[in-house]
Copies of this chain bind each other. A is one copy, B any other.
Amino acid sequence: MSMGDELVGLPFTDSAPTERGDAARNRLLLLSAARRLLAERGADAITMDDVAAAAGVGKGTLFRRFGSRAGLMIVLLDEDEKVEQRAFMFGPPPLGPGAPPLERLLAYGRERFRFVWEHRALLSDAGRDPQTRFNAPATLHRTHVRMLLETAGTTGDLEAQADALLALLDADYVTHQVDEVGRDLEQQARAWEDLARKLCGR
């Protein structure tokens, strides 16, 4: 058996797992343990000790891999953002291409309220830094909404209107509306749809 076979980790090798294979396996174990704990307890109640223990992986490995608790959370959020982005860029209509632009915009709003609520703790942490607040993936959302407004024939300044729509999807804002103002997600989503229609002239 050649060195190359070992490195790509072919399933029929009976040698010890390679360093790379171990690292990839540990990464997967840690991320899925973190996801399980997130779903069970919410982001605020999870420590790095919990994640390492639930994954059956050493705490040193956890820190080497993700740098910090914040680093781990950013990787989890980033993975989910990418799944959502694929859905609205390449997935089936009405979220993905194929539906009329206003329909896609309304589907985007619905999906994004769901996503923001589910990830509110992670998004709130990530948004605390004013540098990241206005950068990617924010840029991707802005580009998407702006494109849908444009293809829907919206008049006026599209940047400002896209940003106004996205402001209502800010995680801290949505959470504040639910927890302090008493406007539930459904009410917020309906208001968002009304605003989107109005901007598109419907």
Contacts and interface: CB of A to CB of B under 8 A. Distances in A.
Interface of A: 124, 128, 130, 133-134, 155-157, 159-161, 163-165, 167-168, 170, 172-173, 176, 180-181, 183, 187-188, 190-192, 194-195, 198-199
A180 B130 contact: no
Number of copies: 2
A190 B157 contact: yes
A156 B191 contact: yes
Central interface residue in A164, A181, A191, by most chain B CB within 10 Å = A164
A198 B198 contact: yes
B157 A167 contact: no
Contacts of A181: 159
